[in-house]
Amino acid sequence: MSSFELIRPLPGAAFGGVLRHPGNAHAAVTAAEEQPGALPSALAEASGLLLMQGMEAMADAPSLLVRLSRIFGPEVEDYRNVLTPLNMVHESVPEIFMVANKPPVSRAPPRQPEPPLTVDGKLPVRFPHRRGWHTDQSYRRPPPDISLFLAVRPVPQGQGQTLFADGTAAYEALPPSLKARVDTLEGLHVGSSAKRSRDAVLSGETPKPLKPQQRPQRQPVARVHPVTGKRALYLCEYGQMDWLEGPFVDMEPGPSGDGAALLQELMSHLTQPQFVYVHEWTRGDLIVWDNRCLVHAATWFDAANLEREMWRTTVFGNPGGAYAGERKSWIAA
Ligand SMILES: O=C(O)CCC(=O)C(=O)O
Ligand SMILES: [Fe+2]
């Protein structure tokens, strides 16, 4: 008998699920370790998005988050190995990346969309009204599989949400001609430190000479999921694509090229409200998301008056056959 029950979909969305579990974080992690296939199959069944509630005990026992992460794949990122500034890494558990607005992390929230609400008074989700959509660390090859995100100190509901868009459903809903086009297309992804984002290129910043491990990386736009075999749109937008030579390989580059127009079309298709789930955080919520088939975006919160602290781990090692045998692009040779 499984100790877990998957309730699908997530409220207000067409995908995702709530994973009911035995009580608290200690019991849930122990049960997950006893049935190691249960959580990965629930994740696949829920199209790559799982919510586990009541995990607040992890905040006092951070290694529980790492134990739970190991169930989802072969390797859990040690953030000391990926050139992450150390102020963003948990002081005693280096597998935990801290997303927080208080020192020592001091990361500011994204700006509010302009205007802050849609014409019908809703939270904007669709690109380009909503900015910041991405899939984690797509600037590396092979890219990571899964992220786990724990609300240690969320802000009150109505701000500081995380948005998720279902790349599998969005791919399936593409018109046949566009589907055929993206099936062979590659995107060019790059980290923000390379100064090749759309904003950097538009402001005429001189691109930085790149170390080999910072170079833009090609990724399939229609990525085949190694577990489900389904294709999903795999893309980012202004901040995490290479706007100098990309955003797409073998298309006219730059912010006003044909590639830019296609990216605009694909990202606004992918982030339509029918493909999006908006998560309002409660302390102790843990969300597991599959970066291979979903994109996500953070939203604004009132950082002058509120503190928000979230912990993230990254699981990798099962990127799919297209990456077989590759060495890690982000580690210096
Ligand atoms: O702060 C959030 O809601 C999401 C941050 C994010 O994109 C991440 O940690 O990968
Ligand atoms: Fe992210």
Q: Going by CA atoms, what residue is nearest to atom 6 of ligand 1?
A: 298
Work out which ligand 1 atom sits closest to the CA atom of 136. Answer: 10
Q: Give the span between the Cα atoms of 107 and 90, in whole angstroms.
A: 14
Q: Are 35 and 5 in contact (CB under 8 A)?
A: no
- What letters, b where the CB count within 10 A reaches 16 and e where it falls short, cover 220-248? bbbbbbebbebbbbbbbbbbbbbbbbbbb
Architecture per CATH, 5-323: 4-Layer Sandwich (3.60)
pLDDT in tens, 28-71: 999 999 999 999 999 999 999 999 999 999 999 999 999 999 99
The band of 192, judged by pLDDT with boundaries at 50, 70 and 90, is confident
- Sketch the domain layout of the chain as residue ranges: 5-323
Q: Give the span between the Cα atoms of 333 and 329, in whole angstroms.
A: 9
Q: Give the span between the Cα atoms of 232 and 108, in whole angstroms.
A: 30
Sign of the four-CA dihedral 83, 88, 92, 96: negative
- Residue 1 is predicted with a pLDDT of 62
Alpha carbon of 99 to ligand 1 centroid (Å): 7
pLDDT over 90 at 208, yes or no: no
The band of 83, judged by pLDDT with boundaries at 50, 70 and 90, is confident
pLDDT in tens, 304-332: 999 999 999 999 999 999 999 999 999 88
> Alpha carbon 319 to chain centroid distance?
14
- Residue 7 is predicted with a pLDDT of 98
pLDDT in tens, 93-128: 999 999 999 999 999 999 999 999 999 999 999 999
Show Cβ contacts of residue 68 under 8 Å, excluding neighbours closer than 6 positions: 28, 29, 32, 39, 148, 286
- Joined together, the tokens standing for residue 223 give 């990525």
What Cα–Cα distance (Å) separates residue 76 from each residue in 32, 95, 178, 210?
Answer: 16, 7, 35, 26
Q: Strand runs (DSSP E) across 71-201, as ranges? A: 75-76, 97-100, 146-153, 162-166, 186-189
Q: How many helices (H) and strands (E) does the chain have?
A: 7, 15
Work out which ligand 1 atom sits closest to the CA atom of 281. Answer: 3
pLDDT in tens, 285-299: 999 999 999 999 999
pLDDT over 90 at 193, yes or no: no
Work out which ligand 1 atom sits closest to the CA atom of 297. Answer: 7
pLDDT over 90 at 233, yes or no: yes
**Helices 176-183/258-270 angle, 10° precision:** 120
Q: Give the span between the Cα atoms of 73 and 28, in whole angstroms.
A: 17
Q: What is the mean pLDDT of residues 5-9?
A: 98
Q: Give the span between the Cα atoms of 250 and 252, in whole angstroms.
A: 7
- Joined together, the tokens standing for residue 154 give 């969320």
Minimum-distance ligand to the CA of 285?
Answer: 1
- Residue 119 is predicted with a pLDDT of 95
Q: Going by CA atoms, what residue is nearest to atom 10 of ligand 1?
A: 136
Instruction: Say yes or no: CB of residue 279 within 6 Å of ligand 1.
Output: no
Q: Give the span between the Cα atoms of 92 and 297, in whole angstroms.
A: 27
- Residue 175 is predicted with a pLDDT of 97
pLDDT in tens, 123-166: 999 999 999 999 999 999 999 999 999 999 999 999 999 999 99
Q: What is the mean pLDDT of residues 12-39?
A: 96
pLDDT in tens, 169-184: 999 999 999 999 999 9
